[in-house]
Amino acid sequence: MLASPLAVGVLAGGPAWVHLPLTGLWFVGYFAFFATSLWLKARRRPRYWPPVRAYGAATLLLGLATLALEPGLVVWAPVFLLPLGIGLAAAAARRERELLSGLATVVGSGLMTLVAYAAGPGPDLGRAWLLALTQFLYFAGTVFYVKSAIRERGNRRFLWESVAAHLVATGVVLAYSPWLALAFVVLTARAAVVPRLGATPKQLGIGEILATLVVAVVSLVTV
């Protein structure tokens, strides 16, 4: 969920020097978010504060370095505020594993495809939006799929909600890439079958890596 949206944006828009600090900002920023979530979840206990301070400072420096190379990227900063706020509020309420929090994180991930594309020389921002939408739809489906296979295992209602979410995603991508829609058909079948098989988290993780690569490659080639 971290690497794929960034990589898709970079590859689609073309690499640029600004992508170096942007990559650091993206990953270190996630560490800052994770550390802050733990601090909030722990009711702001002092021993959880040092990582927040360290990663926060590193994120600020990398952000300034990114803007020094490409000042125009600052216009994208406000769009991350809502998903970031939802995620941190969920952590403070100890509800970070709920569906809304997961989907908010996915929104933030999808937005990075746009930022990475805009940082490069790519001329077609319309294509970037479709690639970002693809990343969002895929990872949103992943949130449903993983929950149905682990925390909601045996919950038939949630299983079919997951399948329905995948069907909706398939219908959306069919509008702009039939080949990508075919990949989403396979993901829909996976969402319907795999949670019934008792797959382990490790097996699910390996499958996700392969699926993420397939979606990224097919979207880059066909969108």
pTM of the model: 0.93
Nearest CA to 167 out of 204, 141, 129, 196 is that of: 141
Domain boundary among 78, 96, 122: 122
- Residue partners of 109: CB distance under 8 A and separation at least 6: 1, 2, 4, 5, 135, 136, 139
Domain boundary among 90, 122, 154: 122
- Do 101 and 209 reside in the same domain of the chain? no
- Do 115 and 219 reside in the same domain of the chain? no
Number of folded domains that form the chain: 2
**Cα–Cα distance, 104 to 113 (Å, whole number):** 15
DSSP codes of every residue in 100-137: HHHHHHHHHHHHHHHHHHHHSS---HHHHHHHHHHHHH
pLDDT in tens, 28-74: 999 999 999 999 998 889 999 999 999 999 999 999 999 999 999 99
- Provide the domain limits for residue 168: 124-223
Please count the CA atoms within 13 angstroms of the CA of 175 that sit on its side-chain side.
7
- Do 174 and 111 reside in the same domain of the chain? no
User: Per-residue pLDDT for 96 more than 80?
Assistant: no
**Taking a C-beta distance cutoff of 8 angstroms, is the pair 12, 131 a contact?**
yes
pLDDT in tens, 104-131: 899 999 999 999 999 999 888 899 999 9
- Give pLDDT, residue 149: 92
- Do 61 and 155 reside in the same domain of the chain? no
Domain boundary among 102, 122, 142: 122
The owner of tokens 């959306």 is 172
- Do 160 and 219 reside in the same domain of the chain? yes
- A 10 A CB-CB count for 125 gives 11
- Do 6 and 112 reside in the same domain of the chain? yes
Cα–Cα separations (whole angstroms), residue 164 to 31, 157, 159, 171, 188: 32, 11, 9, 11, 8
